[in-house]
Amino acid sequence: MSSSFIKIDTKNAKPKSGRKLKTMLLFPPEWVPTAPYLALPSLTAVLRENGHEVIQRDINIEMYELFFSDMFLIWVNARMAQQLRELKGKEAQGELTEKEIDQKECLEEVLSFDVMELASSAEEAKRINRSEDFYDASKLEWALNVFRDVMRYISVAYYPASLVYYPMESNLGYRPGVSSEVYACLNDPQVNVYRDVCQQLVLPSIAKERPDVVGISIGTKMQLIAGLTFGKLIKEAYPDIHITVGGNVITRLQEDLAKQEPFFTEIFDSAIMYEGEHALLWLLEALVGDREWTAVPNLMYKEQGHVRINSEIYTEKTTSLPLPDFEGFPLDSYFVPTRILPYLATRGCYWGKCTFCDHGQGYFDQYRGKPAQDVVREVKALQEKFHADHFLFADESYPPALFKKVSQLLIEENVDIKWTTLIRFEETLQDPEIWDLAAKSGCKTLYYGMESANERVLELMDKHAKKSVIENNLKEAARVGIWNHVMAFYGFPGETKEEAEDTRQFLLDNKASIHSVELFYFVAYRHTPMVRNPEKFGITIHKQDEYDMPLDYYYTLNEPGGVSCLDAMQLCEEFYQNDFASWAVRINAREQIFLYISKYGTNKLPQIYATNHTPAEAKPDTVAGLITWPVAKADPEGGKDGEPGMARVVSHSAK
């Protein structure tokens, strides 16, 4: 696809009809239900600024609110009872398959449990998450276990799906990298829980509001099935509504989606790639005849039976965008006791060199940012307008110059907030005064993409970080009370087992200044420099025709002696079995730890580590953990060794 930048001439545009469209924006599951995601408020701000009526719905948090309610659990219980009756009927006829025998056993066990007791526990768990009891680690751990129990309970009703509260690892048994399976999943009422979510939460809202346009933001792979399910059911019920999809995953899959004509016929009418604020605005103008369809940048749509991708690409000017608009979001419904707002000062990554990373695929242009003065002004405005004192700076990697200037300005202007962000280890951040200012300005937790502690491997990655700098940054941050979360992975092509051991040993040697750890195995993401030039990195990429919507590929090393994909998996498993105990936390969502640091004012929090409590401590008046049946899990994506899609997790971290 050939692309070109365009500069939109709004002054000389043709006269507008003045017609405005009512738009409903949907954020589908699954995402962490502790804070809003920034996509919808950013889109809403531009549309409302231009006179369009917008209803924005965070269906993710609405789904969890629904799941953890007596109404839904009673409904699920009835669904399971009906399923069991049908299976017993087949059993009487001697017609049960092995899978159905397993399903019947799960249903019989779960239906013996008191659903009203579970529903009561779920209500108490929600109350704990939204009250000061949140800061009692034993009570919070109990509440999180209740949520996990509820998800296991609901999973049986959608057998063999596995629905998980946190981390986001729900599995419906269909591979999202295979379009035929994605489409089959959309039509499968047995496992596709999102069909019921849509029917109970989305369709009634559309019937009430009657929007002209529905926009669905699909930012992560975990949202793909839910987002497409919503689109399909809305299209079936309301064929005259224009449905558009967008988000990072849509951008990454643009070439594949263009080949999936049924998607444009039965699920959505258009797709917006890259940044969507003004592209969505101009799409609305095209829908009312005020703009030619070919003049809408970043747009993919169906025209005369063919999918067309407009060549023009528009990148947002960060300094001229309006303040994100959270009006209409359920800001007090998230599972935290205080409001947390996301804020983005930059687009893209200022470093932008890491050979394993494809985050920049969501932006056609690379790094752009706002001046520190604008950042602080906008944060103050959000604080005052939405009564929030906690902020997630959601940048790909916070630039060191901005880190220093924003810290200084927050202090000078007496902006009393608490904040967290992702950051890169930098030589320019070694001065102790920088860290003193950061802590004084309200910085509480930092997330670092270390990736490796071996300098040769870091050079191969084009990270160019020095081990001494990594140690310095961690020690200085820890000294001033900032919580350090370090992410790394095994198996970068060319890494030896000895070099992988350097990473493990570094983590162990620096326990005093590393408060939490995530260790992954390398994944060959589709749009990375490595996958585009595999021979340069000594790997062979294995593609299979059935995987026609891949986000990553299985790979093998061209030469023996390095850490293979399977080696890296084994090393990860050994790390978590042998070395991880001292880092195991009872509360592990990013926002939860952030609030604990904010509450207690220190990175010394022994009460949240699993090694510092006994199970008896984690039980208030009601008891979690009663559901212990063996729920059958759906086959993981990629199933067999050697198939693409088997390696799914890697450090999505600061560069």
Domain-wise residue ranges, the chain: 19-60+191-302, 64-157, 338-526+561-618
Topology adopted by domain 19-60+191-302: Rossmann fold (3.40.50)
- What CATH number should be reported for the domain whose range is 338-526+561-618? 3.80.30.20
* More confident site: 258 or 197: 197
Cα 374 to Cα 37, 40, 326, distances in angstroms: 21, 21, 19
117 confidence band (pLDDT: 50, 70, 90): very high
Dist CA 600 CA 77 (whole Å): 41
Residue with tokens 């949907």: 26
The contacts of residue 247 (CB under 8 Å, 6+ apart) are 39, 217, 218, 219, 220, 223, 227, 276
- The two three-digit tokens of residue 239, written as one number: 């064929």
pTM more than 0.75: yes
pLDDT of 597 over the 70 cut: yes
Structure confidence at residue 15 (pLDDT): 62
135: which DSSP letter?
G
CA separation for the pair 396, 404 (Å, rounded): 17
Band (633; pLDDT cuts 50, 70, 90): very low
* Spatial separation of the C-alpha atoms in residues 450 and 486, rounded to whole Å: 6
Contact between 344 and 322 (Cβ < 8 Å): no
Strands (E), 440-536: 443-451, 483-490, 516-521, 524-525
Q: Are 554 and 565 in contact (CB under 8 A)?
A: yes
Q: Which residues neighbour 574 within 8 Å (Cβ) at sequence distance 6 or greater?
A: none
Please tell me if the domain spanning 19-60+191-302 has the same topology as the one spanning 338-526+561-618. Answer: no
pLDDT in tens, 324-333: 999 999 999 9
Contacts of 228 (CB under 8 A, 6+ apart): 182, 186, 218, 245, 263, 267
Mean pLDDT computed over 353-370? 78
* Nearest-5° Cα angle at 248, 244 to 254: 65
Is residue 554 scored above 70 in pLDDT?
yes
**CA-to-CA distance for 514 and 518, rounded, in angstroms?**
11
pLDDT in tens, 137-150: 999 999 999 999 99
pLDDT for res 580: 96
DSSP code of 341?
E
Mean pLDDT of 170-174: 94
pLDDT at position 616 is: 43
Is 576 within 8 Å of 519 (Cβ atoms)?
Answer: yes
240 confidence band (pLDDT: 50, 70, 90): very high
In angstroms, rounded to a whole number, what is the distance separating the alpha carbons of residues 215 and 244? 5
pLDDT score recorded for residue 12 = 45
- With b meaning 16 or more CB within 10 Å and e meaning fewer, what string describes 10-26? eeeeeeeeeeebebbbb
pLDDT score at 206: 98
pLDDT bin (cut points 50, 70, 90) of residue 177 is: very high
Q: Which two tokens stand for residue 463?
A: 């990270």
pLDDT in tens, 457-507: 999 999 999 999 999 999 999 999 999 999 999 999 999 999 999 999 999
Q: Which residues share a beta bridge with 553?
A: 524
CA dihedral sign, ordered 263, 269, 275, 277: negative
Q: Give the pLDDT of residue 624.
A: 45
Residues in the chain: 655
Give tens-digit pLDDT for 407-435: 999 999 999 999 999 999 999 999 999 99
Whole-number pLDDT of residue 364: 64
- With pLDDT > 70 as the criterion, what percentage of the chain qualifies? 90
Residue 569: partners with Cβ closer than 8 Å, 6 or more residues away: 491, 521, 647
Identify the pLDDT of residue 646: 24
DSSP 482: P
CB 28 within 8 A of CB 194: yes
H/E segment holding residue 342 = strand 340-343
Average pLDDT of the chain is 90
Tokens of 406: 């924003």
pLDDT of 365: 64
CB atoms within 10 A of CB 499: 21
What are the tens digits of pLDDT across the range 567-596? 999 999 999 999 999 999 998 788 999 999
Strands (E), 114-273: 213-217, 242-246, 270-272
At position 232, the amino acid (one-letter code) is K
Dump pLDDT digits (tens) for 307-354. Answer: 999 999 999 999 999 999 999 999 999 999 999 999 999 998 888 888
The predicted structure's pLDDT at residue 614: 58
The yes-or-no verdict on residue 359 having pLDDT over 80 is no
CA distance 593 to 444: 9
By the 8 A CB rule, do 478 and 512 touch? yes
CA–CA gap between residue 42 and residue 343 (Å, rounded) = 10
CA distances to 342, 368, 405 from 395, in Å: 9, 11, 16
Judged on CB neighbours under 10 Å (0-12, 13-18, 19+), 232 is buried
- Encoded tokens for 29: 């599951």
Q: Which residues contact 78 (CB under 8 A, 6 or more apart)?
A: none
Predicted confidence band of residue 14 (pLDDT cuts 50, 70, 90)? low
The answer to whether 249 and 220 have CB atoms below 8 angstroms apart is: yes
